[in-house]
Amino acid sequence: MRTSTKTRRTLIAVATAASLAALLAGCSTGGSTPDKTAKASPTAERTPNPTSDIVAPPLEQAEVPCTDGTATIADVNNKEVTLGDCATVVVESSNTVIHLGAVESLTVKGAINGIDVKSVDKVVISGDGNRVSTPSKPKVDDSGKSNTVQR
């Protein structure tokens, strides 16, 4: 028995469609109902918002002596200096964090230093971008730019 070309094409199309349907049915999730004893998986905790605090690595400590009542803080850029009481302190370094005890005269020639002073009588600043913090009320001579003396 001889089949016509039209019938043959129809049979091929039906066979292809049936094969595709069977193939796609294997990829579906199926119609099964979920297990009623299943529990929800734990949810992840929400990550808190990041803080606005900037945390930098600790600075390297530098030793500066007070000799005969005078200390010169020089060549210790990007470091931290702690110095006790000293009559005269001259800061020539830049980008330095400095903690001082009681000081009569503080001269700042460097730039972008953060200086905390327990007490100071006079502050002379010729550098730029320095911050001096002290609870005392010193006489201030500031010829630089963008410096602050916080009392």
4: in domain: no
148: DSSP letter: E
pLDDT band at 57 (very low <50, low <70, confident <90, very high): confident
Q: CB-based contacts of 130: which residues, under 8 Å, 6+ apart?
A: 91, 108, 110, 111, 112, 113, 114, 115, 144, 147, 148
* pLDDT at 133 > cutoff 90: yes
* Distance between CA atoms of residues 144 and 133, nearest Å: 17
144: in domain: yes
1: in domain: no
Domain span holding position 113 = 61-150
106: in domain: yes
* pLDDT at 71 > cutoff 80: yes
Question: Tens digits of per-residue pLDDT, 21-43?
Answer: 666 666 555 555 555 565 666 66
Q: What are phi and psi of 64, to 5 degrees?
A: -130, 120
Task: Give the rounded percent of residues in the chain with a pLDDT score beyond 70.
Answer: 70
* Distance between CA atoms of residues 38 and 123, nearest Å: 73
Q: Count up the domains in the chain and report the number.
A: 1
136: in domain: yes
**Cβ–Cβ under 8 Å, residues 116 and 134:** yes
104: in domain: yes
